[in-house]
Structure 1
Amino acid sequence: MREGIRLFKGGKYEQALEALLQIDVPPEQYPEQAYYLGLSYAKLEQFDEALLYLEQVAASDLDFARIFQGRLIIGYIYAVTERYRLAEFEFNQLLEEGYESPKVYAALAFTLYKQEKTAQSISLLEKALELDPENPNALNSLGFILADKEIRVGVALQYCRRAYDHNPRNPAYQDSLGWAQFKCGNIREAIRYLSMARQQMKGNSEVERHWAVVSRAAEKV
């Protein structure tokens, strides 16, 4: 077990799985093993397997932090696999049970935005920032949504810039800042940040869509 955890923490997820699967105890009887198996499969984007083990964690008697983390990742998996209604249900359940945190509010906001529930999404992100005014994920998400929907674009730009300042190397923050710059009419700055995002997220459909729109606008200037 220790070897599996060590490998997982070292980012060696496939080797971690090999070590964890050699443990001669069924994971449902050993929630600690199920927890790290679920995390490892999630890191490898083998989502069905991850859900299998994380559901065991959610029903276990592990400590609060690990159950919360496991259930949060279950919601994330549903979101990234575009099962937004299931993700919405999971995140709402966490809030109803008292697992209130900026992470949950921001994650729920994302799933609602993807379902075109923009006003609710904005409200949840504002709640996340009430709890943690410098939460970069919430800042970035709120800034992006406001910019994308052309709502208070100047404020959107400020949010995106603050998120970017927390981690200038994050391509998602670069993309959002570039898009907000474009929505504010700053085409040269938009190209600068979107170029950064494209270098790190080659082939990402959303980044490429933003780049195409900004490039066409630049040609007309």
Structure 2
Amino acid sequence: MADVDLNEKIGAFLKSAYNKFLVRDFDSAIRELKAAEVIDRDNPEILYNLGVNYCRLGLFKTAIGYFMKMLKLEYSFIDALEVKKLIAYALIHATDYKESRQYIDQVLEYTPSDITALNLKGYCLEMEGKFAEALQTYQAVLRIERDNYNAHNSISYITAKSGGDLSRSLALAQAAYESNPENPAYCDTLGYVHLKIGNIDLAEKFFTAAYTKLPLSEEINEHLRELKKLKNSLK
């Protein structure tokens, strides 16, 4: 009977936390989940949800701790491969790209066609400056899913950044942008390609659109500074 009461309490905390998560009240969701954790510290559902909520707050190292604890559990109904992708995602945000790739490679060993894992790996390689390997990884994504516009966008950006074929880069960036004009990353890449081509007005148009949607992005702000520097040099 006592176990039933405890399970009911945990269920109530989880339900309350989920409702708060839906309205993006992550702090309150975490309080509910921490209360549930006091009752059952090795409950994989509690640990999983704590990790996800800490990710949403940007506390990635704390999130990793909860995900890692899940992997150490002897029994768990939550997919270990999905947890490893979450760890990889959190490690990317903690700028630990090398360790992130280690978890991604563990996923790809079992599911080599996992689009999410391949995109994460491509991003890590890109951030590490391993452009050739990143391009190969994104090309693998397109062989599996031809209309994966994240891969289109990434290939376009790397190609432009590394001095590749700008006409191909423009076509890929345009395709990604047309698939979702509200995506700030797609706006930014299209602006960057136009910047490299020398289309100053178009570069400014798309950088401004990207900045409006994501003003705190360091990459977008860096591109705007690069544009400003180029405009000043042409005066």
TM-score by length of 2: 0.85
Instruction: Please identify, of 211-220 and 78-87, the stretch whose mean Cα deviation from structure 2 is larger.
Output: 211-220
From 133, 153, 160, the equivalent of 1:120 is 133
Moved over 6 A (4+): none
Tell me how large the CA RMSD over aligned residues is.
1.8
Q: Which amino acid aligns with 1:190?
A: A
1:27 aligns with 41
Larger Rg: 2
Distance 1:147 1:37 in 2: 39
Identical residues among aligned pairs (%): 23
Q: Which amino acid aligns with 2:77?
A: L
Are the equivalent residues in 2 in contact too, given 1:175–1:197 (CA < 8 A)? Answer: yes
Q: Which amino acid aligns with 2:27?
A: E
Matched, 1:110 2:123: yes
Distance 1:158 1:26 in 2: 53
1:202 aligns with 215
TM-score by length of 1: 0.90
Matched, 1:36 2:49: yes
Distance 1:86 1:41 in 2: 19
2:189 aligns with 176
Matched, 1:134 2:147: yes
Q: Which amino acid aligns with 2:86?
A: I
Change (3 A) 1:142 1:59: farther
From 134, 153, 175, the equivalent of 1:162 is 175
Deviations 1:66-91 (A, max 9, x none): x3332112112211222121011111
Deviations 1:109-163 (A, max 9, x none): 1111222211110000001111112222222211111111121211112222222
Instruction: Please identify, of 183-192 and 199-208, the stretch whose mean Cα deviation from structure 2 is larger.
Output: 199-208
2:202 aligns with 189
Flag structure 1 segments of 5+ consecutive residues without an equivalent: none
How many positions carry a matched residue from both structures?
Answer: 218
Distance 1:35 1:101 in 2: 21
Q: Which amino acid aligns with 1:62?
A: F
From 39, 64, 84, the equivalent of 2:97 is 84
